[in-house]
Structure formats: C-alpha cells, structure tokens
Amino acid sequence: MRGPLTTQNQNCYRQLIEKEAYTRLAWKIKYGQEYPSRIAATFRAKKEPGLPKLPAAETILPPIVKREVQAVPEPKLDLKLKAPLMRPVTPKTRETLYDGISTEGKGRALYMRQRLGKGPEEKFDHPQLSSWEYGWKLDYGIDYRSPVSGRSGIVRSTFYARN
C-alpha cells in the first residue's frame, strides 16, 4: 500500500470515477449511433420476430449547474505598511553582490558568505519561527575558558590522543 487511505484520497478517487463515468456517458450519447456496442449487436441478432419492441432507453444527464462563487474582495493593503521580514542589506554588502562572479569567489559567493556571518538577530527584527525564540538575543560568552580547578585539562591531556 502506498500510503494511508485518507478522506482526501477517497474523495479524489470518487471524483475520478464520477468524471470517467460522465465522460463515457457523454461519448455514448454523442457517438453511440455510429459505434454500437457488441452487447447491443448480440441482442439484436437473437431477437425473435414475434417479440414486441421495447422503447430505447434514453440516458438523460442531469443539467449542468453553474455555481457562481462570490469572491470576497480582499482588503487593499498598502505594501508600504507591511513590515518586511528581513532587515534591508547594507549598501556595502549589496555592492559585493554585483561585483565579480562566483567562480572567482566574488559576487554572489562573497555576498552569501557575508550574510552567513551575521546571526539571525542582525538579519531579522523579530523571530520568524517559534524555535528561534529559545536562543533569541542570548549573550554568549565569547571568551570561554576552562576553569582553573576543573578536570577538563586533565581529561583532555590524558584521555584524548593527539593524533
């Protein structure tokens, strides 16, 4: 089985079957006289002359109902009022984008390296994802040193091999 049979999959499958049935029925109505089916031909051959003729069954399709969906007008928002997701790039960084080509380490490659060097706090005004909130604007101790009385130096020098 490819995947779970959800309600959406069932509805899709039902619509496909209905569409195929309507297409076959429309074709039969349009071209049925020109191309009689084999079943109808065998019934005609086996008819006895004394039997009364039954009226031909007319297939009537339900009328096509065109539903007009009234579109809800979207409120016209001024694009200038929307807050941008990202802070604008500095002109100096923008100039690197158009200077040189990526294969030489300039242009887009240099621009992307400069943008990668910045943290999300510098690129965005507020967190875009809920997972960003955990570390948002945390001050990390850049000058981290091992404690003088701790065991980390001993473990590092005795346990780990140099190569």
Domain boundaries, the chain: 7-45, 91-125
What does each C-alpha distance from 122 to 26, 33, 86, 132, 141 come to in angstroms? 63, 74, 9, 13, 18
CA gap 122, 126 in Å, rounded: 10
Query: pLDDT tens track of the chain, all 163 residues?
Result: 466 778 888 888 899 999 999 998 898 888 888 877 766 656 555 555 666 666 677 777 788 887 777 777 776 656 565 666 788 888 988 888 888 888 888 999 999 888 888 888 888 888 888 888 877 776 665 556 666 666 666 666 666 666 6
The answer to whether residues 86 and 118 touch, using CB atoms and an 8 Å cutoff, is: no
User: Can you tell me which residue has the tokens 């200038």?
Assistant: 80
Indicate whether this model's pTM tops 0.75. no
CA gap 120, 128 in Å, rounded: 9
Tally Cβ neighbours within 10 Å of residue 50: 5
* N- to C-terminal Cα separation, the chain: 51
